[in-house]
């Protein structure tokens, strides 16, 4: 499975962007999907997660209420709608996916638990 993230860009604070993650080379319908971001000099951090059935969605506290994660299994895609963007949201955003069973319930917050990654898409929010 290959993942390709897109949709990043330059936006003013308060604006919106929608990131997309397109999967190829196989179906991700039974994969959990996550979004992470990384700013210069910082570690990659969890942003949002959606389970394969869309039954579970989780968000980092810093984006809760502003970002919405979704997926379309029929189209083999995932999305991250980002509203009310802030300068501190500036980062390289990555989509990730994994289908394995995990031994603890918060596995989705840890980048090392994902086996498949897209390249990053840069989001820059100006003040």
Using an 8 Å Cβ cutoff, are 1 and 26 in contact?
Answer: yes
Query: Per-residue pLDDT averaged across 71-92, rounded?
Result: 97
Angstrom distance (rounded) from CA 16 to CA 31: 27
Which helix (H) or strand (E) is 23 found in, with range?
strand 17-24
pLDDT value for 34: 98
Bridge partners, 45 (sequence order)? 37
Confidence class of residue 118 from pLDDT cuts 50, 70 and 90? Answer: very high
Residues in the chain: 127
The two tokens of residue 123 are: 């989001």
pLDDT value for 102: 87
């Amino acid at each position: 499975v290959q993942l390709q993230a897109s949709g990043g860009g330059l936006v003013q604070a308060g604006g919106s962007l929608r990131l997309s993650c397109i999967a190829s080379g196989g179906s991700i319908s039974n994969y959990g999907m996550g979004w992470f971001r990384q700013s210069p000099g910082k570690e990659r951090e969890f942003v949002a997660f959606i389970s394969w059935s869309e039954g579970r969605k989780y968000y980092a506290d810093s984006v809760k209420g502003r970002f919405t994660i979704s997926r379309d299994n029929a189209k083999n895609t995932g999305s991250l709608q980002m509203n009310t963007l802030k300068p501190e949201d500036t980062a390289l955003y990555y989509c990730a996916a994994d289908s394995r069973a995990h031994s603890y319930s918060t596995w989705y917050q840890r980048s090392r638990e994902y086996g498949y990654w897209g390249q990053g898409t840069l989001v820059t929010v100006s003040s």
